[in-house]
Amino acid sequence: MRSNRARTRAGVSMAATLPMIAGALALGIPAAHASDSPARDTLAGTRPAWATAKADKGAAADSSRVSARVYLAGKDAAGLAGYAKAVSDPSSASYGKYLSAGQAQSRFGATKAQVAAVKSWLTSAGLKVTGVTQHYVSVTGDVAAAEKAFGTQLHNYAKGTKTYRAPSKAASAPESLNGAVLTVTGLDTAPHKADHADQLPGPGAVFKNSGPFSSYYGSNIASTLPDAYGTKIPYAVKGYTGKQLRAAYGAGTYTGKKVRVAITDAFASPTIAYDAATYAKKHGDAAYNTGQLKQVLPKNYTHTGADECDASGWYGEETLDVEAVHAVAPDAQITYVGAASCFDDDLLDSLSKIVDNHLADIVSNSWGDIEANQTPDLAAAYDQVFQFGAVEGIGFYFSSGDNGDEVAHTGTKQVDTPANSAWVTAVGGTSLAVGKGDKYLWETGWGTEKATLSADGKSWTNFPGAFTSGAGGGTSKTVAEPFYQKGVVPDALAKANNAAGNRVVPDISAIADPNTGFKVGQTQTFPDGSEKYSEYRIGGTSLAAPVIAAVQALATEARGGKAIGFANPSIYAKYGSKVYHDVTDTPTGSELAVARVDFVNGVDATDGLATSVRSLGKDSSLIAVKGYDPVTGVGTPAGGYVESYKRR
C-alpha cells in the first residue's frame, strides 16, 4: 500500500511512507522472461512474496471477479532503459538529446499489432477488455478466465490478520506474443494504495501551532525552561517562508521563469486557488499570474472515505506542495495532477498523464510506501513510466519517507518506495537553521527525539526521549546499485544487504524537520463548523521534495530553460564540490535541540498546553556524516548549485 507523506505537524510523522526484481530492475530493465513451459513466458514478480505455501488457504472460487491491468513492454524495452540512461548521463554523447512524447512512444512504445495480439489473447481466455491505453490493457472476468489467461491458479492467502487472493505461481503470457507483455497487476487483492463516483469531502479539522516561537533560528531563547545539552535552547521557529528558504539554498536572482513543474497527489483541494493566492499575498511571494497554477483532474473520485484513502487528508499535501514550489520558484508554472484515489493504478495514471502529454519537466511527488509492501509487477510498471519520462527530459522527485530506518514504524529496517527506484531522485530531509538576515547557519540530518517537561517544570522527563520521526533512508533489499552511485556511496552502505551492491536512499535533501519547518496556509474546518483560512508550521520529506523540485526549476532557468531531465547522474557528478552543504548531525560541534509548546487539542488552549524539547540530528539508526550518508545523500543545495547547471 502507499501513503501520502503528509503533514508532519505535531512532531510525530503522519507520513509515510512497492519487493522489486533485483538486478535488472535496478536500472529499469525488465527481467528476462524465463520460459516455464515451451509455450509460455513467465512474468517475473507477479506472485507476491507473502503468497507462501504456509499461508495458502485454498483455491479461490472460479466465479469470483478479477480486475487486472496487462502492462505492455513496447517494441524495445531494453532500448528504452538504455536510452533513458544515455540521455541522463553527462558523460554520454547522447546527454540531453531528449525525445518528444510522440517520438518516445513511436520508438519504444507498443505497436498496434502488439496491442491487438494482447487483446486477442485475453479475450480468447474469456476476459473482457475494459480499457486500452498506450501503456496497458485493462480486463475484467472471473477467476477461471484469469487462470486460463495467465497460466496460474489463484488462491486465498493469509496476510497478517486478513486474507487476500494471489497467484499460486508467477503469471505467464503466451510465448507467441514475443515479449509484448511487461507485467500484469491486479491478480492479488492486497491493498495497493497510498495512505495518506464519490464526491470529495470538505476541508479537514483545523490544526494550529501554539507559541512562543522564534522568527528565525535562535531569535527567542527559552530562558525559563530547563537546559538541554548543558545550555539554554531556542523555541522552534514559527515556520520559515520562501524568502528564507531561497536564501538558504542559493536561489539568487533566479525565479524559475518559463519552467514547468508538476505535482502529483491523490484527490484535489477544493480551496487550493484561494489558499495559494492568500498565502502568497501574506508572505510577500509573487502573485500568481493567470494560468500559472493549473489542475488536471479526473472525472470522478473513488475510495474517498476515511477508512480507505481519507480524501480530505490529502488536501494539506497538495497545499504544502504548491505553496512550497511557488515560494522557492515564484515564476515557475505549476500543474497539479490529482489521482482519482490513493491506489497505485490511479497514481500511475496521473504520472502517465504528465509523461504522455509532457505537462512538465520536473515532477514533485510526496507519497510512497515501505519497500516490503511493493510488488515487482508494480515496480516494473512505475519504472517504465520513469524511463519514458527520462527520455523526454522529465525528472521525478520522491520524498524518502518520515520514519527513518522504519524499524520503529514496521519492526524491519527498510527503505521507502518509489523513492527506492533507480530512476527517480529520492529526497531526504534536514533540520535547517536560518539566522538573522536570512543567513544560512547550518543543517543537521532530520531525526527527532522528544522529551516532555516534568510536572514541576524543572527538568525534561526521560531526556532526550523517544524517536518520533526522521528522514527515510538506507539500503534497498531489492534494487541493484545504479551506476551513478558507484564510487560515491560507501561500500558499507551499498553492500549492506548484498555483496553485489544495492541502491541506497536518498540522493539529495532539503528542509524537512517540522521543528524547523515551513509555514503553510490552508482552509480548514474549525470546531464550530466554520471553514476558514489558517496557517501552521509543517514538515516531513513532503516538504523536502517540492523544495528540491523548486530548486531544480531555478537550475533549469539558469541553463537557459534546457531541461535537466533525470537528475541523479548530474547530482552525483557534482558530489564533493562546494555546490552542496555537506550536512552532519553536529554541525556546531555539540548536540542541538529546540523547545516546543503545543496546544493539547491542536486548536487552542482550552485543554491546556504541552511543552517539550526536540533533539535534532537523531534519525533512528541513520547518521548524517561527512560525505554521502543515508539521511541527506550528497547534501543540500548551496550557493553555486543553481548556477552549476549553466550550459557551458
Q: What's residue 202's pLDDT? A: 75
Residue among 225, 221, 233 at smallest CA distance from 458: 225
Q: What's residue 272's pLDDT? A: 97
Confidence label for 4 from pLDDT (cuts 50, 70 and 90): low
Confidence label for 612 from pLDDT (cuts 50, 70 and 90): very high
Residues 237 and 217: beta-carbon distance below 8 Å: yes
State the Cα–Cα distance between residues 16 and 401, nearest whole angstrom.
5
pTM of the model: 0.93
The three-class DSSP label of residue 241 is: coil
The last residue of one of the domains, among 131, 150, 185, is 185
> What CATH number is given to the structural domain containing 398?
3.40.50.200
Cell (9 digits) for 109: 512504445
E strand residue ranges, 585-640: 593-599, 609-615, 636-637
In a domain, 127, yes or no: yes
Q: Are residues 171 and 235 in the same domain?
A: no
pLDDT above 60 (res 28): no
297-319: pLDDT as tens digits: 999 999 999 889 999 999 999 99
In a domain, 437, yes or no: yes
pLDDT above 80 (res 24): no
Q: What's residue 19's pLDDT? A: 31
pLDDT above 50 (res 37): no
Q: Are residues 157 and 232 in the same domain?
A: no
Q: Are residues 219 and 137 in the same domain?
A: no
Cell (9 digits) for 599: 496546544
State the Cα–Cα distance between residues 208 and 48, nearest whole angstrom.
42
User: Which phi and psi (to 5°) does residue 630 adopt?
Assistant: -85, 15
Q: Are residues 181 and 307 in the same domain?
A: no
In a domain, 421, yes or no: yes
Evaluated on CA atoms 248, 252, 253, 258, the torsion sign reads negative
pLDDT above 60 (res 14): no
Dihedral over alpha carbons 91, 96, 102, 106 (to 10 degrees) = -20
pLDDT above 60 (res 61): yes
> What is the average pLDDT score of the chain?
92
User: Which phi and psi (to 5°) does residue 644 adopt?
Assistant: -65, -15
pLDDT above 70 (res 34): no
The last residue of one of the domains, among 170, 185, 200, is 185
What percentage of the chain has pLDDT greater than the value 90? 89
pLDDT above 50 (res 27): no
In a domain, 286, yes or no: yes
Q: What's residue 307's pLDDT? A: 86
Confidence label for 639 from pLDDT (cuts 50, 70 and 90): very high
105-163: pLDDT as tens digits: 999 999 999 999 999 999 999 999 999 999 999 999 999 999 999 999 999 999 989 99
Q: How far is C-alpha 104 from the geometric centre of its chain's CA atoms?
A: 25
Q: What's residue 199's pLDDT? A: 54
Q: What is the largest CA-CA distance in the chain?
A: 78
Residue among 46, 24, 524, 549 at smallest CA distance from 319: 524
Q: Are residues 556 and 639 in the same domain?
A: yes
Number of domains in the chain: 2
Q: What's residue 428's pLDDT? A: 98
Give Cβ neighbours of residue 309 (< 8 Å, ≥ 6 apart). 193, 194, 195, 196, 266, 267, 303, 341, 342, 343
Q: Are residues 29 and 66 in the same domain?
A: yes
Q: Are residues 157 and 269 in the same domain?
A: no
Q: What's residue 198's pLDDT? A: 40
pLDDT above 70 (res 626): yes
Q: Are residues 566 and 635 in the same domain?
A: yes
542-588: pLDDT as tens digits: 999 999 999 999 999 999 999 999 999 999 999 999 999 999 999 99
Confidence label for 13 from pLDDT (cuts 50, 70 and 90): very low
In a domain, 11, yes or no: no
Q: What is the mean pLDDT of residues 280-298?
A: 97
Confidence label for 5 from pLDDT (cuts 50, 70 and 90): low
Confidence label for 183 from pLDDT (cuts 50, 70 and 90): very high
Q: Are residues 223 and 153 in the same domain?
A: no
E strand residue ranges, 458-608: 466-470, 474-480, 502-505, 508-511, 518-525, 531-538, 580-581, 593-599
The pairing of beta strand 425-434 with beta strand 395-399: parallel
210-265: pLDDT as tens digits: 999 999 999 999 999 999 999 999 999 999 999 999 999 999 999 999 999 999 99
Q: What's residue 172's pLDDT? A: 97
In a domain, 16, yes or no: no
Q: What's residue 3's pLDDT? A: 61
Q: What's residue 201's pLDDT? A: 74
In a domain, 629, yes or no: yes
Q: What's residue 22's pLDDT? A: 32
What percentage of the chain has pLDDT greater than the value 70? 92
Domain limits at 35?
24-74+110-185
Q: Are residues 596 and 525 in the same domain?
A: yes
Confidence label for 360 from pLDDT (cuts 50, 70 and 90): very high
Q: Are residues 149 and 235 in the same domain?
A: no
In a domain, 190, yes or no: no
pLDDT above 50 (res 628): yes
Q: What's residue 11's pLDDT? A: 31
Q: Are residues 360 and 483 in the same domain?
A: yes
Residue among 426, 429, 411, 435 at smallest CA distance from 507: 426
Q: What is the mean pLDDT of residues 160-184?
A: 96
